Chains A and B, each alone.
Chain A
């Protein structure tokens, strides 16, 4: 259903874009400042799609603002609101502390889209549209891929940080491998960080004489994992499954790298989805209210080109 909705939105956007001129609209986009790989990708895609929208609707004004923390993001939202907004697209640094600031904007009749990080109360009182990736599915798709391709695999897991998103991904993974012989040898935290993942992988390689598959949940950590495997000259590891959709890992999938046969999307480009849907709601009066969940798409050699952005910093 959601996919259909998306299709309708795009067709409508394309038709109206060429058909007639529109009234001027201002869309504020408030996102976290780039402080690690994924948020760097968010900034890149927000700016990229903002430019696309402005090309298509010459009198649309899309203002992209980045903020390093909740307090300055609350200020940024106020600054945006002062300029007279028709819509606000916000990827909160931390959703709950920002709920009041978002509500203030919404109470003025502004269309509000929240991206990725949901506040505890995430209904029509806070926002009109919620666009997010699928954390449980990110784990589940990885688990299912391992179950289907190496049903007797011994797997080591490198987790992110001990926060709810990480737990959702772990639970999804366990669901994905259910009913198979896939054995999870160990789970340790790599903090979504290359250097820490390198260390954890080195220790895994010492601890376990036989490892078939590594699931490391995040493309940044995969960099450290691959380096540790190469250094140890171990040949028992068949492949590594990571996720997010960084350009380096997508490129490896495209090139048919044996160690990285697939990647799983949790795309920073979702901020672009949110902007496009918001534009569709503003200009074309299309009902987009509700929740739009992106698939945790399995990126394979065949479809990798669709998700490759060589100019992105992530």
Chain B
């Protein structure tokens, strides 16, 4: 699944593994190492329930990070996703509370559509400010981060926005807590989103354009790629991914508050980078990103399940693991 699949063929006599891009494999090796470490730390760790919990609750960051993979591959950055999630989720709950449609199932369907549209529009706004407004994506999305967060706090008056209708809650609950063929729904959604994203990124012309723009936007422009359109669509994909994460977030607690999604943008970026996508753009690894999101969630899980480490040090260990992961990745690139 690596993006460098079409490199010139190497010497026939080289062993088969020299063709494997170690950078793409590294996150998966790290994941397996973590699983072993976890199993040693606590016998309950490797249980299906625990792993399903961890995978399920990593869904928000994982799905947002899939979107971030597009934005980052195209050489941009989106800092607004945490606030955007809180904003879209708040709007969705308020819409369902408004009682505009009497039938709960119909209401829910309308709310889902609304969330997707609002998410895409938020992404479009980020994209247009960056490309048409020609503002650095870091600054543009720093601005919208404040805007979406402020709107959320305003909507909730600083408190919580809670889904009122018990009927909708009952229909909607399984979207987070239910399972399909024994697999929790959020995990199914992660896989579906990643499959679609991988197809778009690796198999379509648009995906190749994203990587081309991220590698060198000037060269891409001279090659006739509509650079700004590619970047704007990447931001819209990010917005859609945030909306999908919202669809899973709302049924979990049935409520949002002013603190919903704080610092999730940094977690998403971390997942993308740990997954092997270069922060400077030009290479995207969607499956690595998912792996990165699992790794982030697993580290916290293992810390809590093991009794060795003071609760004050959890952030220190998490930070160290991220840095070590990056150092390992870097040393691998040099060898290749």
Contacts and interface: CB of A to CB of B under 8 A. Distances in A.
A37 B304 contact: no
Interface string B149-163: 000010011111010
A43 interface: yes
A44 B156 CA distance: 12
B248 to A, nearest CB: 12
Interface stretch (A92-100, A130-138, A185-193, A284-292): A185-193
A223 interface: yes
A12 interface: no
Interface string B85-114: 000000000000000000000000000000
Interface residues of B, number: 31
A310 interface: no
A314 B156 CA distance: 10
Contact of A206 (B49, B157, B312): B49
Contacts of A231: 177
B156 A313 contact: yes
B320 interface: no
A35 interface: yes
Contact of B260 (A195, A204, A313): A195
Contact of A198 (B47, B158, B162, B252): B252
A41 interface: yes
B253 A194 contact: yes
Nearest to B45: A206
Contact of A188 (B160, B258, B259, B311): B311
A34 B258 contact: yes
A193 B259 contact: yes
Contacts of A199: 57, 300
B159 A41 contact: yes
A189 B258 contact: no
B141 to A, nearest CB: 21
A280 B84 CA distance: 46
A248 B153 contact: no
Nearest to A187: B311
A65 to B, nearest CB: 15
B333 interface: no
A162 B315 CA distance: 12
Contact of A312 (B47, B49, B159, B304): B159
Nearest to A188: B311
A188 B306 CA distance: 12
B145 to A, nearest CB: 15
Contacts of A312: 159
A179 B153 CA distance: 44
A91 to B, nearest CB: 14
A227 B253 contact: yes
Contact of A43 (B158, B162, B260): B158
Residue with the greatest number of chain A CB neighbours at <10 A, chosen from B47, B50, B255, B304: B304
B231 to A, nearest CB: 31
Contact of B304 (A35, A40, A203, A232): A203
A224 interface: yes
Contacts of A36: 158, 257-259
Interface string B250-279: 001101011110100000000000000000
A58 to B, nearest CB: 28
A241 interface: no
Contacts of B301: 203
B42 interface: yes
Contacts of B177: 231
Residue with the greatest number of chain B CB neighbours at <10 A, chosen from A33, A195, A198, A220: A195
Interface in A32-57: 33-37, 39-41, 43-44
A200 interface: yes
B258 A35 contact: yes
A202 interface: yes
Interface string B26-45: 00000000000000001011
B311 A189 contact: yes
B216 interface: no
A312 B304 CA distance: 35
14 contacts: A36-B257, A37-B159, A37-B258, A39-B158, A40-B158, A41-B159, A159-B311, A202-B57, A204-B304, A207-B44, A207-B305, A227-B252, A313-B156, A313-B158
Task: Pick the 7 closest A-B CB pairs, nearest first.
Answer: A34-B158, A313-B159, A40-B158, A40-B159, A313-B157, A203-B304, A206-B50
Interface of B: 42, 44-45, 47, 49-50, 53, 57, 153, 156-160, 162, 177, 252-253, 255, 257-260, 262, 300-301, 304-305, 311-312, 314
Given A33-B158, A198-B252, A313-B157, 11 more contacts: A40-B159, A193-B259, A194-B257, A198-B57, A203-B304, A206-B45, A206-B49, A206-B305, A220-B160, A248-B162, A314-B158
